Amino acid sequence: RTLHNPFGDGRNAILAGGSDDAGVTAAAQALVALLQGAGGRQGDLSVGWLREIRLADGYSVPRAPEEMNVWEESRYYGSSGYFGWNIISKHMAAYYMTGDEYHAQEFLRLSFPDAEAIAEIERLDGERIENKHDPLAGPYHYSAHMMILFWDLIEEDPFFTDEQRLDITNALSRQLTHRAKEGVYGRMQPASSVGGRHADWSAMSLWTLARYFDRDYPAPVWQASRESAETFFSGIENSAWFAGMNDHLFWYTSYYDPLLDYMVMSGYRGGMDNLRQALKTQDILFTGQESDWGLRASSLNFLHRAAYITGDGRFIFYRDRTGLDTDALRLGQSWWPDAIEARPPTELLDTWTMQPMPEPMWRARGSDLPLEQQFLWGTWRTTLDGGGDLMMIKGHNGGGRLPYHTFSLMEQRLAGSTLLKGYRNQIITSADGMVEPIVAMDAALLDHGALDGLAWAVGEVPKMAFANWRRSIVQREGRYTLFADDLTFRTDSDNMKIETEWQAVGGSWDGKRNALIVQGTAPEATRDGWLEFAALESDLTCGPRAAEEMLSRLDSIDIILLKAIDPGDWVEMTFTLEEPVTGQVYADLLDFTDRGVLRLWLDGETVAEGVNHYAAAATRSAADLGQHTLAAGEHTLRLEVMAKRPDAERMYAGLLGVSIRPEGITTEASNLGFEFHPSEVMQAQPGGVVVMQWLGSAREGQQRRFFHLLAPRVADDRLGCYQIAENAAILALPGPALALTGQHSGSSAELAVLATDHLVALGLTDSPLLSAEAPVTVHWDFASGNLQVFATQATSVTAQTAAGPQTIAVQSGAQTLEGISPAPAALQTLGAQLSELLAPAGDERERQIAAAAQPAEFSAAEMSASVTGEIGGAPVASEVIQREDGDLMAIAQGQTVHVLAADGSERHALQTDGAIRVLRWWADHDLLLVGCADEKVIAFDLNTGARKWEFISEMDQAVWEAGKQYWFKSAYPGIHGLHTGIFIGGESQALVGSACTLEILDHEGELIKRMPIFWGNGWKFLIVPGPGDSRDLLVARWPNGTDNLAVVNSESLREVGKRFYGVPSGHTMVGGWTAQNRTGIEWVDVNGDDAPELVSATNGVWNRVTVFDAGGTPLHNAQFGPGPNNRPYETMRDMSVADLDGDGDMEIIVAISEGLIGGARSRVPQGVGNAVAEFADAA
């Protein structure tokens, strides 16, 4: 094939090659034949445009773009081509690679689309082409750059006419109007970092576009565009920081892809040391398992280019671990140097791989922590596969869409089983339901290291709410992990709460033992002698809907998936016994993140309730149904979903089958798993994240220490962790051991575990068996006599051995001293002392658990219901209707609005055509408005119960043209918000919120105005005074992007800005993308200055109450801290503003999920409220 002037230097290229030696030979022979037929003479040979392509047998390029494989495939995104591709560039590449003119015709059809082609682009590409009327000009920056690259390769093809070439080239040039607004064009100076993910891809799209036009159609605008992108990418020379929300770890590689593409295409190699440092993220996130944090989203292109640019074969090792097919024919496929071979990164083993925080990032975050203690993340591991032991820690909160976290144990594996996985393995503190104005967002790494068979990490969060939190973690390989948490309080409070969160894989709380049982991901136990019946091979029934809707056969993972949507949904399987059997019966399940809470029936009788079916990763479990004697013949197991977990969006169930362990068979139902034991008796909230709570009083300067032991479970439940002193706990490993911090019983260390078979210690200076002149870290295995010591300076240690005290000089660093065994007498004494501590501690724990189980006594009068009524189901909306002839209550359930009088009698049962979402009483026109999921707003006359009018909502055209299909009505159908009031002129209007759309209706249901409100569904509204005599409509949206309030002016009838977002100076702003929503917004004069303010309660992954002035500037703020998720009302249940005591000052009253009602006076400068009442039942 020929290429015309590829480098802009007037030289053309002729390419001849193949994918193997035979192909190269055949191509060379074909080229020789073409040249021989071209004529000419020496020094004068001219050939025209050439192309001859032959694919190897068995290879073809599909004609449907959604079936085409791309070089950018990853396991997470597949070959969707989300980064770089769209269906138009796929057809361009397919034409270039095959010469099949079908793809050229499709390229033209889609580039200049009719209505049918527009619909096809919308269906297949969605946002990848934002301007579907002018697709070549309007690709999303994520998906743009392949267009211009492949046009450059096919432009001279005779298939295209000059007129078509001109139209195409002009259309592509119009991409500049999109790119110029995205923050890269006009860059004059390199930044201190490479930008965020959106900017990275915009820069790549701008650079490829400008390179083409600057070469063939030079003009100052194209030179400026190219130089702007090059300046942008040169930020890698200043630091290893890739800005933006890059701790969304599944996004990690898509931050790096554009820079690596740019480097390969341009030859640029600046900032290589910073690039190598940045690419260490891949090493840290690699866990050896399929559910790896980063590898699932790593594309072939990224891993190949990383290997090529760095020359390091470890990226080929990672590529091989993706499991992606490297033999497939892929669009955009490139050559590969055979010299770079896969290299297992063994340098990662038995050590910590850390990524420090880049200095510009540290400065931008304004952290008070020393730079040398700041870190992004780090991992210690003992294997490169999914076995062995592993710890992954994270030390900063990047915001975005993540739960709140600071020093988080992101993943933990012990003895080959992943036990913890997620951001929420940490401690959270609060006082009186609130946290401080300044919020911790970073953790300091004080110490970390590894010796043979041991790893440790010590982190500190000085700005944790009302306390300094330090966590020390030691993991003895394959044996146990000990967590020591030290909190020093900064305030006095009688209502201090310490929450210890564990995001366990297959975890369930056992309150009777004060322990968290963790199944983990260990291989299944062998069930010799068992009877097992697979659900996939059984006769199945389900209800209340058809099996086609409710059940899915997932043969690859051996389950029947029950897609329950309501409590009570069920599936039933039959199994047949050839002969009678007596034994323990189990329901075999596959736990996962989307599972509900289960009830199980055996032959019509309930045998288990409240079964927690959740796991952070797919995990097999066995629900114990008890011992039964079953007759020969057919039996049934019924699985019913009781409820959705509080923090879940789904309530599915995964049934593997039924198993029976006959009497006399001793093998376990599953691996015994692991146990978490806290040193104190805890109140725990079960669920996907098990939250252990300690509630009590605290005083400034007081320390509170907790220990948590994680160890493999033993059959006789002999594991334990019992606090015996303020800074010490006795452990059952199951053998006795003493854990301590500071000084206790003749020992002094930052953290130590002293057992009868080993000693583990950080910062040890003294113990009954070993002392040191300067603090040392120690791992001493008594049986082998190996004493490992890590010292930060030269010192000496003294061991109590059988031969007497033995003093040994040690150098700075790690060293192993062999043949050092403790004195037998000393060990015997130690064993006796530890045993004496363990037995009474276990007895005391049982008494504590029994006492904690006793219900609390309350001295309060019971409130009785004045009236009751039955509506036949759970209500979804309610509205109080104030009327002169008596107030009414409208309560919506399903497709019915029940209108009840004060005595509970039903006045009307109003029927709708779709499920009801929202209600609004329009007092000005005596109408009840009902918003439904089928896009209808229905107005009911309550005098007759009849429909007066109905309106069908439509999405604004501008929303469609924005191309973000995940914000369309197809994603969020129906009506999400209703409001009424005087907005335009002197008339009262109805305001309708739906998918990125506001519709204004008159009292007869006629549309006055429709307009876009980006991004989200309007669900709460407030009409407030605007400039002059106008009014402003404030629109809160959910779901949303950023939780600001859109402002629509009554005179311009357009959105005039986004306001009422943020916190005052001196407070930390914790936001996020689609992470927060408004529980309430009120317009009221809270400080008596005759100027109203906006009072807002923000709910979600971070919660607060903020007072804004009329212009949207935050004045006061009260931080309520993190929430478990972003669901409306999850943490901030309600808010009201009133003058409770009649003194003329307003009080802000907030009800929160933990059972507190907080009151804040409006003039408190820092907005820190005082709890005025507490109720035991948070519900």
At 365-379, the pLDDT tens digits run 998 999 999 999 999
Taking only the tens place, the pLDDT of each residue in 707-757 is 999 999 877 778 999 999 999 999 999 999 999 999 999 999 999 999 999
What is the rounded CA–CA span in Å between residue 353 and residue 193? 22
Interval 934-956 mean pLDDT: 97
Lowest mean pLDDT among 322-331, 641-650, 717-726, 791-800: 641-650
The residue among 334 and 737 whose pLDDT is bigger is 737
- pLDDT confidence of 1143, banded at 50, 70, 90? confident
Count CB neighbours of 225 within 10 A.
24
Taking only the tens place, the pLDDT of each residue in 416-461 is 999 999 999 999 999 988 999 999 999 999 999 999 999 999 999 9
1168 pLDDT more than 50: no
pTM here?
0.88
Cα-based torsion angle of the residue sequence 789, 794, 795, 797 in order, rounded to the nearest 10 degrees: 20
The residue among 336 and 841 whose pLDDT is bigger is 841
Say whether 847 sits in a helix, a strand or coil.
helix
Q: What element of type H or E holds 479? A: none
Taking only the tens place, the pLDDT of each residue in 597-631 is 999 999 999 999 989 888 766 778 889 999 999 99
Count CB neighbours of 28 within 10 A.
13
What is the rounded CA–CA span in Å between residue 888 and residue 179? 56
* Confidence at residue 1159, expressed as pLDDT on a 0 to 100 scale: 66
DSSP H helices in 286-313: 300-310
- pLDDT confidence of 104, banded at 50, 70, 90? very high
* Residue 259: closest CA among 213, 208, 203, 303: 203
What is the rounded CA–CA span in Å between residue 1171 and residue 1024? 30
Omega prior to 1015 cis, within 30 of 0: yes
Mean pLDDT of the chain: 92
Interval 776-803 mean pLDDT: 96
* Confidence at residue 1163, expressed as pLDDT on a 0 to 100 scale: 42
DSSP secondary structure of 498-548: EEEEE-BTTEEEETTTTEEEE-TTPPPPP-TT-EEEEGGGS-EEEESS-HH
* Confidence at residue 1171, expressed as pLDDT on a 0 to 100 scale: 42
* Confidence at residue 614, expressed as pLDDT on a 0 to 100 scale: 83
What is the rounded CA–CA span in Å between residue 111 and residue 131? 11
- Residues 837/732, Cβ–Cβ less than 8 Å: no
- Domains of the chain (ranges, CATH numbers): 1-54 (no CATH), 85-173 (no CATH), 175-244 (no CATH), 349-518+672-733 (2.70.98.70), 531-670 (2.60.120.260), 735-854 (no CATH), 1060-1179 (no CATH)
Taking only the tens place, the pLDDT of each residue in 1046-1102 is 999 999 999 999 999 999 999 999 998 999 999 999 999 998 888 999 999 999 999
The residue among 1092 and 865 whose pLDDT is bigger is 1092
Pairing label, strands 1147-1152, 1132-1138: antiparallel
CB within 8 A of 1093, min separation 6: which ones? 1083, 1084, 1085, 1086, 1087, 1107, 1108, 1109, 1110, 1115
806 pLDDT more than 80: yes
Interval 568-573 mean pLDDT: 96
Angle at 785 between CA 782 and CA 791, to 5 degrees: 95
1177 pLDDT more than 50: no
1167 pLDDT more than 50: no
Taking only the tens place, the pLDDT of each residue in 271-284 is 999 999 999 999 99
- pLDDT confidence of 314, banded at 50, 70, 90? very high
Q: Is 678 exposed, middle or buried (0-12, 13-18, 19+ CB in 10 A)?
A: buried
Taking only the tens place, the pLDDT of each residue in 689-709 is 899 999 999 999 999 999 999
233 pLDDT more than 90: yes
Lowest mean pLDDT among 230-239, 242-251, 564-573, 633-642: 242-251
478 pLDDT more than 60: yes
Percent with pLDDT over 90 in the chain: 79
Q: What element of type H or E holds 225? A: helix 220-233
HSE-CB at 1161 with a 13 A cutoff on CA atoms is: 9
Which residue reads 């750059």 in tokens?
145
83 pLDDT more than 90: yes
- Residues 275/240, Cβ–Cβ less than 8 Å: yes
- pLDDT confidence of 864, banded at 50, 70, 90? confident
CB within 8 A of 665, min separation 6: which ones? 528, 529, 530, 583
